[in-house]
Each structure stands twice: as structure tokens, then as C-alpha cells.
């Protein structure tokens, strides 16, 4: 049952703009001097779930879409960080 639900989940088109917004949110948290780094990922996931739930509804699909959007945001940032040229 869970596998059927997860296999049908894709990122909802209305959440495409949430990915860069979550990246900006994470950057703002990173620049806050008193905010611990280990909480940033959890805040981004939580914000992704809330944005998704408000956009497409408080359903299992809505929550999973929020986690997918947050994961895309985190993965994009990590890919950029690990592939950029260092001097």
C-alpha cells in the first residue's frame, strides 16, 4: 500500500517555485549567527511540508510533495557546493 502511494507521487507543478524559495530560506538560516547548522535541514523539510500542504492540501500526497521539494532544494544546494570550482 505504501509503495503504491509513493510510486505515484511526483512534484506538483505549483511547487516548482517552492524549491528556490526553500533554498533562500535555508541561506537566510545559515547566515543567522545564533542558529545551529544541524537544525537547518529540519527547518527546510518542515517549511516544505507546510508550503506544500497549504498549496495542495493536507493529504499524504501533500506532505510527501513537501518532503520532495525540500529534498530537491537540499540536493541542489549540495550539488552546487560540491561541484563549484574552488580557488
Parse the chain into domains and list their residue ranges: 2-83
Joined grid coordinates for residue 71: 529534498
pLDDT of residue 37: 86
Average pLDDT value for residue range 17-36: 92
- Which residue, 50, 43, 44, 53, is CA-closest to 72? 44
What's this model's pTM, rounded to 2 decimal places?
0.80
Beta-carbon contacts of 60 under 8 Å, excluding residues fewer than 6 positions away, are 5
Q: What's the first-to-final CA gap in the chain, in angstroms?
A: 50
pLDDT, tens digit, 9 for 90 and up, residues 36-65: 989 999 999 999 999 999 999 899 888 989
Cα–Cα distance measured from residue 22 to residue 17, given in angstroms and rounded to the nearest whole number: 9
Amino acid at each position: 500500500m505504501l509503495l503504491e502511494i509513493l510510486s505515484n507521487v511526483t512534484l506538483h507543478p505549483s511547487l516548482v517555485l517552492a524549491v528556490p524559495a526553500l533554498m533562500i530560506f535555508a541561506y537566510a538560516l545559515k547566515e543567522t549567527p545564533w542558529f545551529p547548522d544541524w537544525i537547518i535541514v529540519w527547518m527546510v523539510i518542515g517549511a516544505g511540508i507546510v508550503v506544500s500542504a497549504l498549496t495542495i492540501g493536507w493529504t499524504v500526497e501533500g506532505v510527501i510533495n513537501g518532503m520532495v521539494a525540500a529534498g530537491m532544494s537540499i540536493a541542489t544546494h549540495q550539488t552546487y557546493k560540491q561541484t563549484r570550482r574552488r580557488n
